[in-house]
Structure 1
Amino acid sequence: MKKLLLALGFCGLAWQAQAQAPSLSYHYKVDLNAVKDDKLTVSLEPKDFNAQGELRFYLPKMVPGTYSIYDFGRFVSNFKALDANGKELAVQHPDDNSWVIAEGAKLARIEYQVEDSWDTEQENVVFEPAGTNIDAENEVFVFNNHGIFGFFDDQERRPFTIEIDRPKNLFGGTSMERVAGDEDSDIFRVADYHKLVDAPIMYAEADTAIIKVGDADVLIQTYSPTGMVKSKDLVQEIQPILESQRAYLGGKLPVDHYAFLIFLNEGGESFLSGSAGALEHSYSSFYCLFEGESGDIAQTVRDVAAHEFFHIVTPLSIHSEEIHYFNYIEPEMSEHLWLYEGVTEYSAQHVQVKQRLVSAEHFLNEMSTKMATADYFKKDLPFTEMSKTCLDENKDQYPNVYMQGALIGMCIDLKLRILSKGAYGIQEMMQDLAKKYGIQKPFKDAELFDEMVAVTGYPEIKEFMLKHVAGTEPLPYVELMKEAGIEYSDQGFRTELSLLGFNPNGGIGFNPEQGLLMVANEKFIDDFGKELGLKEGDMLKKWDGEELTPLNAQQVLTSYASKAKEGYELEVLVLREETLSKRKMRKRNRRIKKGKKVDPLAIEEVLLKGKLKKVKVPQEHALNLLEEVSAEQLKIRKAWLGDYILEDDVEK
């Protein structure tokens, strides 16, 4: 008891001493009305900053969630350090991300300009959901704050105030607390730099919706340049998956507020990075997607949201010291990307089957696809080692976190269900780890496997992790699936709806003369494609009534896929060269080989029509539900997949 009282007394003295001494705080100002040459001017006034000697100011080299070195300081120019009289102080700029101010004691203000990363001419393009956009013409600004605001060395844990002047018609969507402002300004305040980086802002014409998910208020803000998509239209797509995730997490979310910030690129135009996607944050997620009709992008939003929203569990509530004390200049990676990204991806798929949003067959097909894709990555590289080295020598292996990482999550789930006879799985393990750690308490990387044993009560789980995650033994699909009454085979078949009539992996090519995609090989045409009338060499001019080019193929086919169901009537307009007899074709080819001129083959337009149907397709790593199973197998299957539905039930 005395020790406790002494400890409390010491804490009180420490607090009093801290309260008496002023502590540094950052006060930033930005004016969105003053864009010049696609650049914003940023002003920083450090408050109560009793600096002595040399000062170092930084913008991040890397930020959490990106797993790429981006060097955000390279977008800064005209950096100035000023004293109280407005006189410039000497500044050195030793590398992309740092500025050194020799006379730190005289510093009163810092000013610099920052260009956005979305339309830069610099190399090493930043993935758009992690970057910045300054578009005064269309009045849309994207602040991923690590690309706008910096910090002083060892001073990341100080409070930040961000004051932004803006046009009256713009709304700043963010998960940050707005503490003040008026009709044309906002003032935000966060506890430290980590919280600032964790809360992007999107300024655009107000198009918002707020939904209630349990006790949490969820904001949806959408920027659609043509107005085709409204936030209210996305509510019906996002809310069901969030409600399902709440149920999956035990009925209560670990956050009381959340923001979906959705930027849509007009006309399906490619982003500078060539990719669309999203970046997760603790209380928000930022999306860069291609614009289309609301119904067309709904499935994309739903699928991406399912993954990003699950990050409220990890790394928000379960994370290592490497993340909790993230070093923005010399980042050190955790060895547990299987947890942060892998289990998140698995949960995003698993929640949908367990909450009856998709069929059991659909879920198993997703897992089979991940198995097949994971085969393309290194087999002799422990996943923990890949995680630690994904910024450098194993950078090309990082995408495997969404494949092998998710499969690790699946196998842990099955292993726990088998050990507990169905009573305990990865859902419960994650909830127990979150209770033990939570937002403010990180775990030590080297101790996680022991902590998994501590919360689950199963020493076997550590042995599993050492073999298959810290080691290179293949995941035991056969034995785990067998316990759940599921047949696993290296080579098998699955039945699925044919969307194209051919397998694009090997069945799609390009005709440079016509500039069109084409059916490249008849052996990849499936039964539906044969009924439709597709032939090898057919050039695809229109798909489902839309002109089809290599540039807009992703947008057109994504739009089509969102509407496609069994029985849907598909129309495909193809350009087809005239058919010659085998004898005439051989004669023509001989003339070509001899270098003689031949007349080009006539080309005609052919309109093909057919109703979508299911077909049998070959599948590596096939997973199929067994009809004859024991009571024990059925118990594990039901515990794992819940009260699942079958594909036929989905259509009904």
Structure 2
Amino acid sequence: MRKFLFLLLISAVSFAQTNTYEISFDNAVHHEANIKATFPNVKSHELVVSMSRSSPGRYAIHEFAKNVYGFKATDSKGNKLEVTRKDPYSWNITGHDGTVNVEYTLFGNRADGTYSQIDNTHAHLNMPATFMYAEELQHRPLEITFNSPEGSNWKVATQLKPVEGNTYMATDMYYFMDSPTELSDFSLREFKLDGKNIRFVLHHNGTDAELDEYFDQVKRIVEQEKQVFGELPDFDYNEYTFIACYLPNASGDGMEHRNSTILTDTEGLADGGMKGNIGTVSHEFFHSWNVERIRPYDLEAFDFSEANMSGSLWFAEGFTSYYTNLILHRANILTAEEYIKSLNGTFNYVWNSPARAYFNPIEMSYQAPFVDAATSVDPVNRENTFISYYSYGSVLGLALDLSLRSKGLNLDDYMKQVWKKYGKTEVSYTIEDLHKSLAKYAGAAVADEFFGNYIYKSEMPKYAELFKTVGLKLTQDVDKGYFGASLKANDSLVQITSNPKIDSPAYNAKLNSGDQITTVNGNPISSMEDWEKIIKESKPETVLNLIYMRDKKEAKTKVTLSKDPTYSINIDENADKKAVTARQNWLAGK
């Protein structure tokens, strides 16, 4: 009896230390949610509750407080409490009796991995965009109850632990904030792998047959990615949940979380999503190893009040991007030809960018708070100063894999080693740790060359040689002319729509974004077809006499076209048997 009473006491004390939330959707048609939170046993004179300014998996500031209104705070007896504001995203509450209740209205109308959307079809909730938190109480457990609209068929999909009915719990504030949730009349498929339950939730307008076909691809991706690391992560509660929303009112995105991922897109499975959305599945699930558990030191601990910066995103995001399409091939979703073709766009984007003169991959990673779903109203010069760490890391992962394979090694086994050292143990890593791990796996010479030349510096690997080892060829069209800026038709004129690349013909001719080209070599042009015909018929060193409009004034310039720098990666049909075998081994994995 004494032991039973002791356990009851412990349970009561634990509940007294639990923060509780409740969310309802009575005005969902107008994108509103009503949210209540209770913070018991508050010891401080002033309790500060805040809306996040950033979100796990994103690196920029988002200011979620802008969508909050109707805020009220009361004590345990319902008495109104004094609230002051010392910054735009916090509410300072005093005069409480040890309990603070808050209530507010949230507006949400963007379904993606960062924001929330509430309407009459679903409640798509990213927790930092939805729920206030008290930082001083961040280590407490939380319980949340989701109240579905009356008469709806909404169910709950989340990585949170079920308690009872529509009530779920989280061990602390971070796990709660890292647990996106979808309430809707979704469809569910699931399968077991190594004793772990893999669930795929899909809110869409398609058919069960389409979902079955898509889910078969998902299963093959999960199995192939497990092969890279040798095992699945130890998912909390032995379960992983893909939460997908493919609807016209969603926005294209993917966002990884510890035991789940958000997948959103406007395309349904019958409208191109069957093939167009599956890459995001591959990318985000790979993150359950690389990022969620193989975790950069400079992202620990995640700060919800500031931008979060890491120099390791070329590895965390970039190497994940390298595996994205490679896994699709290994899962028999892309053919070998389709996979090789997919390399071209990223390869050209990276190696034809002037930005390598300014930043190496580490410094490109530092740019994330400015580019990762960040917004700005002033023009920027990203065409010349930034390469996405997704793309940069992807082509470097390709180079490292091919380099290792030429020595009888491979990137899969290096990733497996990093997983065992830093992921499975959940000990965060530094860039120097990655360097040392590569030295341990492949030798100091290999590691020093890769990090010394391509990570700490911005040199280009010897791709022609590397591709040759796996029966690929790298070529350029030396007879094709190159202008150096993007254009589009605009009001019967052809307008430059990007900052010209540094040292390109357009740049050297002093042309700028926004310039409208009206005449080329005395001939008026009014469509992209006119412009593309001229470029197609022009070789390097061709001189184009342009008349253009800038700020409503006419001007003239001469553009001397250069050799097109575009690379082409293709299968070499004349490759020897050794190279063909090496290619097959590379693409097949284990």
Task: Note the C-alpha offset of 1:335.
Answer: 0.6
Q: Is the 8 A contact 2:217 2:333 kept in 1?
A: no
Q: Determine the structure 2 residue equivalent to 1:384.
A: 362
Distance 2:478 2:323 in 1: 26
* 2:292 is the counterpart of 1:316: yes
**Paired residue secondary structure (2:346):** helix
* 2:154 is the counterpart of 1:170: yes
Q: Is the 8 A contact 1:55 1:103 kept in 2?
A: no
Stretch of structure 1 that moved more, 483-492 or 150-159: 483-492
Task: Note the C-alpha offset of 1:164.
Answer: 1.4
Q: Determine the structure 2 residue equivalent to 1:532.
A: none
Amino acid at match of 1:433: V
Task: Note the C-alpha offset of 1:507.
Answer: 10
- For residues 389-411 of structure 1, what are the alpha-carbon distances to aligned partners after superposition, in whole Å with 9 as ceiling and x for unaligned? 32149975776123212111112
Distance 2:269 2:438 in 1: 48
Q: Determine the structure 1 residue equivalent to 2:277.
A: 301
- For residues 198-234 of structure 1, what are the alpha-carbon distances to aligned partners after superposition, in whole Å with 9 as ceiling and x for unaligned? 2211111142222334543222222225769863353
Task: Note the C-alpha offset of 1:61.
Answer: 0.7
Please show how residues 370-381 of structure 1 align to structure 2 within 5 Å: 370-374=346-350, 375-376=352-353, 378-380=355-357, 381=359
Identity of aligned pairs, percent? 21
* 2:447 is the counterpart of 1:461: yes
Q: Determine the structure 1 residue equivalent to 2:337.
A: 361
Task: Note the C-alpha offset of 1:86.
Answer: 1.4
The 1:235/1:20 distance shift into structure 2, 3 A limit, reads closer
- For residues 267-312 of structure 1, what are the alpha-carbon distances to aligned partners after superposition, in whole Å with 9 as ceiling and x for unaligned? xx6x6xxx52322223222222224453732002222211121111
* 2:473 is the counterpart of 1:487: yes
Distance 2:344 2:55 in 1: 32
Q: Determine the structure 1 residue equivalent to 2:421.
A: 436
The 1:254/1:410 distance shift into structure 2, 3 A limit, reads farther
Amino acid at match of 2:124: V
Structure 1: gaps (5+ residues): 1-17, 119-126, 494-504, 527-617, 645-652
Q: Determine the structure 1 residue equivalent to 2:501.
A: none
Output the TM-score relative to the length of structure 1: 0.68
Distance 1:144 1:229 in 2: 29
The 1:77/1:219 distance shift into structure 2, 3 A limit, reads same
Task: Note the C-alpha offset of 1:356.
Answer: 4.8
Please show how residues 112-191 of structure 1 align to structure 2 within 5 Å: 112-118=104-110, 128-135=112-119, 138-167=120-149, 169-181=153-165, 186-191=166-171
**Paired residue secondary structure (2:56):** coil
Task: Note the C-alpha offset of 1:144.
Answer: 0.9
Please show how residues 458-607 of structure 1 align to structure 2 within 5 Å: 458-459=443-444, 460-491=446-477, 509=489, 523=533
Please show how residues 420-435 of structure 1 align to structure 2 within 5 Å: 421-422=407-408, 424-435=409-420
Distance 1:447 1:364 in 2: 31
Output the TM-score relative to the length of structure 2: 0.75
- For residues 354-386 of structure 1, what are the alpha-carbon distances to aligned partners after superposition, in whole Å with 9 as ceiling and x for unaligned? 455433333222222111122346112111112
Pick one of 198, 207, 221 that aligns with 2:201. Answer: 221
Distance 1:38 1:620 in 2: 46
Q: Determine the structure 2 residue equivalent to 1:346.
A: 322
Q: Determine the structure 2 residue equivalent to 1:592.
A: none
Pick one of 385, 398, 407 that aligns with 1:410. Answer: 398
Q: Is the 8 A contact 2:85 2:91 kept in 1?
A: yes
Structure 2: gaps (5+ residues): 1-9, 375-381, 480-484, 494-526, 537-563
Q: Is the 8 A contact 1:507 1:520 kept in 2?
A: no
Distance 1:37 1:507 in 2: 39
Q: Is the 8 A contact 2:297 2:429 kept in 1?
A: yes
Q: Is the 8 A contact 1:415 1:480 kept in 2?
A: yes
Q: Determine the structure 1 residue equivalent to 2:587.
A: 641
Give RMSD over aligned pairs: 3.6
The 1:226/1:632 distance shift into structure 2, 3 A limit, reads closer
Distance 2:206 2:336 in 1: 38
Q: Is the 8 A contact 1:508 1:521 kept in 2?
A: no
The 1:467/1:279 distance shift into structure 2, 3 A limit, reads same
**Paired residue secondary structure (2:401):** helix
* 2:77 is the counterpart of 1:85: yes
Please show how residues 212-251 of structure 1 align to structure 2 within 5 Å: 212-225=192-205, 231-250=211-230
- For residues 304-325 of structure 1, what are the alpha-carbon distances to aligned partners after superposition, in whole Å with 9 as ceiling and x for unaligned? 2111211111112201233341
Amino acid at match of 2:44: Q
Task: Note the C-alpha offset of 1:482.
Answer: 3.6
Task: Note the C-alpha offset of 1:154.
Answer: 4.2
Task: Note the C-alpha offset of 1:28.
Answer: 0.7
Distance 1:258 1:134 in 2: 24
Q: Determine the structure 2 residue equivalent to 1:55.
A: 47
Q: Is the 8 A contact 1:116 1:132 kept in 2?
A: yes
Aligned residues: 499
The 1:629/1:367 distance shift into structure 2, 3 A limit, reads same
